[in-house]
Amino acid sequence: MTSIRRYLNWALATLLLVVMSLAVTAAYFVTRHEMEEIFDAQLSLQGRIVAGLVTERSTADEYARIAAQLSQPGHFARWYGSTGNLLTDLAAPVLYDHEEKMISLGVWSDSGRPILMGARWHDDADGTSFPAPHHEGHRWVSYQDHRWRTFSMPIAGGRWLSIGLRDAFQSELFNKVALGNFVPLLLTLPILLWLMARLIRRGLAPIEELSRQVEARDEKDLRPIRVAVPQELQALRGALNDFIERLGQTLERERRFTADAAHELRTPLAALKIHLDNARFGEPSALDKAYNGIERLQRVVEQLLLLARLELDDQGAVAEKVELSSLVLDLAAELWPLAESQQQTLEITENPALSLEGNATELGILIRNLLDNALRYTPAGGESRWPWARPQSTGRGCRSATAAREFPRRCSRR
């Protein structure tokens, strides 16, 4: 898995770019819609103003004066007489602003015949002019490869007035607004990424400090971790401290077991060495003493192994269903060599089906100790019974069919 820091840096940087792009896109469309409404309102207002200047009693001089104001360099406004002939051709127009080329207007008669055409709404070469309006209000009109946003309204004398703004003007303004919003964000993006990386590094600093605390320790340092961590890492620190505590307990048990084993084995080994030395110097009874010492040493080793098994099982002890009859038969078969060596009889008088909840290892150790003590402290040639229930008979032999199947030869040996 990649590092958390690298993942957060890439993920948050990508998220930041996506959010910025969505914000700029949303701002563009919202701004476009709002500015379209503003432009429509301006077209309506300008249309009302022009409509107030053109009346039924407007003279040719008045139309000529309006045409002079609407003319642009290279593109003249036109006023047509009642016969449709060109009456006015004004010269030396002045362009006060570059964006004036994007605005024009026109006046038509009720039949759709052009009366007054502003600059760029007529073409002398082919004699075409801007389409006459037929509906009041705002609409989009295409003329000579350009789209115009127009406002049309009826005026005095049944005539129609249209005033329009070319779409290129609006699109250029929208793009400038969007670019003006995007460029500051783009310029501040490196600063935002740097700040984000710093914040991520600072936020992950407790994890690095916790890692350094654990890494700096050796196998003998089992103290709890005391480094201050934020709330999100307190559970991890607690789990590490619990693990360290359990590890310390395990190591302590191992040290205690080693010490106990060394203490328990030191004395029998020393005595065994003495007996063997005596045997080497001609004392016959020393061999018997050495043999007895080996038996005692064997019991000590068995007890130490049982102790180790108990401690191991205690770590993960789980109650289970134990068939006590099968466990007793297995242990009896295991101890038959000891009974046979002392010419003893180990008799199981009854074998009822009995099960209980417990730990099989601990129950086995308990029963084995009982059987082992009974055989060791019963005189040679004696008899030991496992008291399941009232004995059926005091005679020799095996009182359990199951036991007879397990160890038939030993079951009848006294």
* SS (HEC) of the chain: CCCHHHHHHHHHHHHHHHHHHHHHHHHHHHHHHHHHHHHHHHHHHHHHHHHHHCCCCCCHHHHHHHHHHHCECCECCEEECCCCCEEECCCCCCCCCHHHHHEEEEEECCCCCEEEECCCCECCCCCCECCCCCCCEEEEEEECCEEEEEEEEECHHHCEEEEEEEHHHHHHHHHHHHHHHHHHHHHHHHHHHHHHHHHHHHHHHHHHHHHHHHHCCCCCCCCCCCCCCCHHHHHHHHHHHHHHHHHHHHHHHHHHHHHHHHHHHHHHHHHHHHHHHHHHCCCCHHHHHHHHHHHHHHHHHHHHHHHHHHHHHHHCCCCEEEEHHHHHHHHHHHHHHHHHHCCCEEEECCCCCCEEEECHHHHHHHHHHHHHHHHHCCCCCCEEEECCCCCCCCCCCCCCHHHHHHCHHHHCCC
> Which CATH class name applies to 25-176?
alpha beta
Buried b (16+ CB within 10 A) or exposed e, 145-171: eeebbbbbbebeeebbbbbbbbeebbe
Token representation of residue 338: 């000891």
Q: What is the largest CA-CA distance in the chain?
A: 160
Mean pLDDT over 365-373 rounds to: 79
> Which CATH class name applies to 321-411?
alpha beta
Stated length of the chain: 414
Cα angle value 276/277/279 (rounded, 5°):
60
Bridge-based pairing of strands 160-166 and 146-154 is antiparallel
Mean pLDDT over 76-96 rounds to: 60
Token representation of residue 413: 């040996």
Instruction: List the end-to-end C-alpha distance of the chain, in Å, as a whole number.
Output: 70
Map tokens 């476009």 to a residue.
Answer: 32
How far is Cα 31 from Cα 329, in angstroms, rounded to an integer?
Answer: 92
- Mean pLDDT score across all residues of the chain: 76
Helix 167-215 to helix 231-280 angle, to the nearest 10 degrees? Answer: 30
pLDDT for 149 equals 92
pLDDT for 316 equals 52
pLDDT band of residue 355 (cuts 50, 70, 90) is confident
Give 212-244 pLDDT, tens digit per residue: 877 777 777 788 887 777 777 788 888 888 888
Cβ atoms of 375 and 331 within 8 Å: the answer is: no
Give 246-286 pLDDT, tens digit per residue: 888 888 888 887 887 777 777 778 778 887 888 888 787 88
> Which CATH class name applies to 233-315?
mainly alpha
Tell me which of 43-57, 107-121, 308-322, 345-359 is least confident.
Answer: 308-322
**What is the model's pTM?**
0.48
pLDDT for 163 equals 92
Instruction: Give me the residue spans of the domains in the chain.
Output: 25-176, 233-315, 321-411
